Structure 1
């Protein structure tokens, strides 16, 4: 147990004592990741200044610092991220700031509109060639015209498009060269990292956290005896150290685009002396030393300039506000803020052998590759997913990227950007069900920005109203297909990305029920998407409306209509039409949306019994491709279900079985959710186990490979989907309790999972059957609850709860 009992456990104990059941409360204690060695103590390559030795490829590659990827532990507050190594003599901390990007304004060759302006003029010719079955001509025309402006060379593109980048590293040298009884841990319930050890018969502790309320990172050294410390920093950017009174300043710019960088470090000490110089901070003979660090750029999400307040000005204000609180107050403010989110959910999935539970986390992960399931570790993994979302996405921040906000390179794989054909969206699948819907707001803010820049893409490629985006984006509002003539279009052209993002804007309302949000923020996003769909979709000779030409993401030839496109369009239209009803919107605009929805290409079942990925029946039953976007309607969409569309669900089952249970980390996370929606708990559990064995590092971070955070979020969401599924209804909602419970989780409980319509569920089950539960309503409505082979209906007012 940590020094401070977690808020999760307190809440769980209160609730279960009221219910007359204390079984499983121990599951709420599975909140601490701990290790008996520093991150670089496992014999792995761990170079200082990893950016100096990294592979310059912008695509798949090994991380230059395997200790960082496999054993370092993350801290974050949505704006600033840190990876903690936990060294004794040299404590190394890698730093990120979420807006630290190359490319964009200031970069040579950059312009806001990188869309090919007359691309839409070639659509009739491309469509005719596709209808004629001339794939060669389709390929030639699309490679020439359905692309963005810019160089063909990827290395040149990245200079314009940009990439997320590391800020650098902190080095804190201690006078302690040896340690015994070493332990480092990350308490997920408090968001606090600790290192404890003994040196010379004395006990020492190092504490660190990234505070959202105070926009700072705090690092504290304390012990039974005084110690000497030397604080310094290194960065790959054009920055240098200076002294500003008692504050160490490490500031400069990004060479590629001139983005301002400013880091400031204040120090407080008990006893001894402190000196600050251009090289860093020197501490002599202090029994307790606290470093408070702030980090900023001058980025702002302002279309066109993408610049805001000076980085130095931001940092000065933040540091002054932070140091007005002592360490105890800073920590308390941080913990209270963190627990207000993380403490909402408790979960217990079964018992773990006490001997295994007592092992360090990395050893337990190793056992998972060949041993029996460790249910406490599964709970830890689930809570780690929620922890990562809190750490990488908070109000006012950018959304989580391909690595959340933790990146130790200058040229990370796939630029650590925003991939819009699954990866960015997958990052937010846990937000609603796992009771962190506020953490999705940065995604909605980001989508709102793209809805402004994306009007140019809609106009250029379809001569359409509204807005859209394509395969990848960045913090500079990029919505064009990537340039490059010699790559298949499915690597760049994906104009349904905007529709997929729009479904998240609707999901925000489905969980929160904020009508003002629906009117002021969500409606413009949805309306722009649906107007684009009306103008861009094409009437086939059959009379069906389709997204011609079309490519299934990263897979297959050009099609008259990839199933995923149609499914995403249908989902976006369904949400917008319901929003129009709620808001009382009527007229030709809404009628056009309804007409398009009714004319969309239907799902097709192919010759192998599969749900077709393309309009054409060309699926290969031996294909094991990682992308399964054609099953969007099953998950995360709402169009296919075992109960309401059994034939389509059967076809989806065939597709899932054909694709198999392997793949990259994020793909296994998606398959886990698919099988949960199929309500096959044992098969979903196979995917969860595979994700543990083949897609998760000892520090629980997902590996694509390399590290890619979407698998963590997909895995977390999938576990929630196994325990609770929900459906929005105009009058309230519908909940399915433990719909995909595997035999391994035969007895357990959870508290605080959330359903669409504004419902929170607390549940206990024994031997696979619901034994007790409580349903709490956040707004007025009727809800149907399915469990134990039957159903119950409740008509609840906001704030009411009912036990069953």
Structure 2
């Protein structure tokens, strides 16, 4: 699939992304002077010892197990004001910031651009220009080691490399810069901005006066290179592992025409493939995982530090990794988890007197595990101890799709350590259940008896279902590996004492008590994590019906990531037509001010930027990744142990195909459908070749043994 834009970019939101996981660039194009804005995935503010120093400061300010006991006493006693005041001392500074790196400025003679084409299969942006009557071609891509710019055509050229960072040295074509040691998000204006270069920026210039073709390669290294994964894997191989096509898809898609919204199946096909492209480009072994903006950031002080927000956004970045054949792209997130298991163990022990490891609302490339907020962050988002319990589910998913010994061995210590923290975090509540306290439902509020918004309580639904998943999956890993571990008996004793998922007025409850929501259409769907991605609640059950009622009440529109989550939830509940309506909302061109941060409450809907990035605004890439994951759920689901084919296909999407989607248990699946006739081909990738695999097509289940390739046919309602 190739995507075409008929003109050069006038600004960053029109530029096109390329990347190899480590180096990323936004390609503007155009004759005359044009920009290629470059990022390095390891260019973060901060230092490796930053989390430890921040923990020491928080402890010195009085936070710790003794104060935690006072917080719990205040919450169970109904004194939420005192609990909030005490909890402020648990907040450290903010996690660090992903920074811009350098700009390439390429100067050619003035001429005419005939547009830019992004080839998703190769990761190459090609632009054809006419300069002085001659044809000139410029191509930009990221190889395994370098950012590459190639110009073919006999034109004089000049290349300038500039940086917004402080230059501290140079040697020929090598430029050395200094990255700030501290930063904070721009929603904290009282915090001094970090020191960057002032006056003349560091610059390297190269002039090319002769030749039919020249190739520039830019490489980078930083002292933050602590990522251990071996860099490997070709972009084309990863992209070729899977594809999904709804209806007919041309070889070249005109993007402005696409955004006119005339062909909804083409929009779905493009967004599915584009999300995979962005993950392949921004998350590869040997570099940090994709952040709030993937790998592409031009702001010295970006929104929310362009970091890892782990109450939904980072998780959504990786929902599509396993199911769309990009397990290798999952590796950077697993490595971040392994960092958090170290830094988070210190926080669990010193701050809470607990075993295992913990993470909260945010983290960064250094493995930040403390609460953030600088002592004034609202508890609705800053005080949440379940960030690690959600993030660690990705270690389980990585194993569940592959079912190999190596994936099991990697997941086991991460889940076991998280389970230990959860065991120690639970306390006996007033009615005998084991409760989490303090507890918040991320970013949401309820009204107390006086009508005042509150966030603190005990055992919100999200806490309970995450802990249940951690416990059950830790037990499953132990069973699969034949392990005997003392923690298993503790888990088995605690599991039946967790609170059941509540239902109030026919709807899944967000809190343990029947509180009134401050905002009945809130963008976060935190208690629905039990439906997607955890798969604890399924369609056709009383709890599934209660989950459906939540979605009906919450309504549709919000911003990119919220749309994507609602799409995935609707797909899990078999509601394909609402998946389609949500997709059409989410893919509308954004017509507001791209340079203004909209309110976080979702009161101003987002949409797609000209380069197909999902925006709130500001731009957040999680929506793009989430669209891919949700559309995969339309085609195949395997979370119940049954491979359910086309469980949420929108009406009118009468034909299509999928190749290389993955199912849990080590299987790959190809699907074709046309006017109700469905053909499925399953093939074994890994796992147990002797296992029976139930396949459901239109509700009819066929059991097969997949040792090599098996074909199954059936029909779905037209």
How far residue 34 of structure 1 moved from its aligned partner, in angstroms, is: 0.9
Distance 1:170 1:194 in 2: 17
Distance 1:709 1:754 in 2: 23
How far residue 414 of structure 1 moved from its aligned partner, in angstroms, is: 0.2
**Larger deviation: 103-112 or 457-466?**
103-112
Retained in 1: the 8 A contact 2:704–2:710? no
How far residue 94 of structure 1 moved from its aligned partner, in angstroms, is: 0.3
**Aligned residue in 1 for 2:450:** none
Residues 150-299 of structure 1 aligned to structure 2 (within 5 Å): 157=93, 161-175=95-109, 177-179=110-112, 182-212=114-144, 215-223=145-153, 226-239=154-167, 242=170, 244=172, 248-256=173-181, 279-299=204-224
How far residue 531 of structure 1 moved from its aligned partner, in angstroms, is: 0.8
SS at the partner of 2:694?
Answer: strand
How far residue 568 of structure 1 moved from its aligned partner, in angstroms, is: 0.8
**Aligned residue in 2 for 1:719:** 631
Are residues 540 and 257 of structure 1, via their aligned partners in 2, closer, same or farther at CA, if it must alter by over 3 Å?
closer
2:699 alignment partner, one of 789, 798, 802: 789
Distance 2:43 2:64 in 1: 32
Post-superposition Cα deviations, 1:617-646, rounded to whole Å, max 9, x if no partner, equal 114396111111111100011200014xx1
How far residue 360 of structure 1 moved from its aligned partner, in angstroms, is: 2.9
Distance 2:112 2:486 in 1: 73
Are residues 241 and 452 of structure 1, via their aligned partners in 2, closer, same or farther at CA, if it must alter by over 3 Å?
closer
Are residues 663 and 208 of structure 1, via their aligned partners in 2, closer, same or farther at CA, if it must alter by over 3 Å?
same
Distance 2:614 2:533 in 1: 20
Distance 1:621 1:107 in 2: 37
Post-superposition Cα deviations, 1:494-526, rounded to whole Å, max 9, x if no partner, equal 11111111111011001122212312x211111
**Aligned residue in 1 for 2:529:** 632
**Aligned residue in 2 for 1:375:** 265
SS at the partner of 2:517?
Answer: coil
Q: Structure 2-normalised TM-score?
A: 0.88
Residues 680-691 of structure 1 aligned to structure 2 (within 5 Å): 680-691=575-586
Retained in 1: the 8 A contact 2:175–2:204? no
How far residue 107 of structure 1 moved from its aligned partner, in angstroms, is: 7.7
SS at the partner of 1:389?
Answer: helix
How far residue 39 of structure 1 moved from its aligned partner, in angstroms, is: 0.5
1:581 alignment partner, one of 475, 479, 494: 479
Residues 588-667 of structure 1 aligned to structure 2 (within 5 Å): 588-606=486-504, 608-620=505-517, 623-643=520-540, 646-667=541-562
Retained in 2: the 8 A contact 1:398–1:446? yes
1:399 alignment partner, one of 279, 289, 299: 289
1:129 alignment partner, one of 49, 70, 74: 74
Distance 2:634 2:25 in 1: 32
Are residues 682 and 656 of structure 1, via their aligned partners in 2, closer, same or farther at CA, if it must alter by over 3 Å?
same
**Larger deviation: 616-625 or 191-200?**
616-625
Retained in 1: the 8 A contact 2:91–2:377? no
SS at the partner of 1:454?
Answer: helix
Retained in 1: the 8 A contact 2:356–2:418? yes
Please state if 1:72 is matched with 2:15: yes
How far residue 129 of structure 1 moved from its aligned partner, in angstroms, is: 2.4
2:84 alignment partner, one of 139, 155, 159: 139
Retained in 2: the 8 A contact 1:563–1:612? yes
1:671 alignment partner, one of 566, 586, 589: 566
How far residue 124 of structure 1 moved from its aligned partner, in angstroms, is: 3.0
Retained in 2: the 8 A contact 1:559–1:616? no
Distance 1:677 1:787 in 2: 15
Retained in 2: the 8 A contact 1:622–1:659? no
SS at the partner of 1:301?
Answer: coil
SS at the partner of 2:156?
Answer: strand
Please state if 1:32 is matched with 2:5: no
Structure 2: 5+ residue runs without aligned partners? 184-193, 197-201, 446-454, 589-605, 714-718
How far residue 198 of structure 1 moved from its aligned partner, in angstroms, is: 2.2
Please state if 1:409 is matched with 2:278: no
Aligned residue-pair number: 665
Please state if 1:802 is matched with 2:711: yes
Are residues 530 and 579 of structure 1, via their aligned partners in 2, closer, same or farther at CA, if it must alter by over 3 Å?
same
Are residues 462 and 548 of structure 1, via their aligned partners in 2, closer, same or farther at CA, if it must alter by over 3 Å?
same
1:421 alignment partner, one of 283, 302, 311: 311
SS at the partner of 2:614?
Answer: coil
Retained in 2: the 8 A contact 1:241–1:278? no
Distance 2:77 2:651 in 1: 52
**Aligned residue in 2 for 1:484:** 374
1:97 alignment partner, one of 15, 37, 40: 40
Please state if 1:696 is matched with 2:608: yes
RMSD value, Cα: 2.5
Please state if 1:499 is matched with 2:394: no
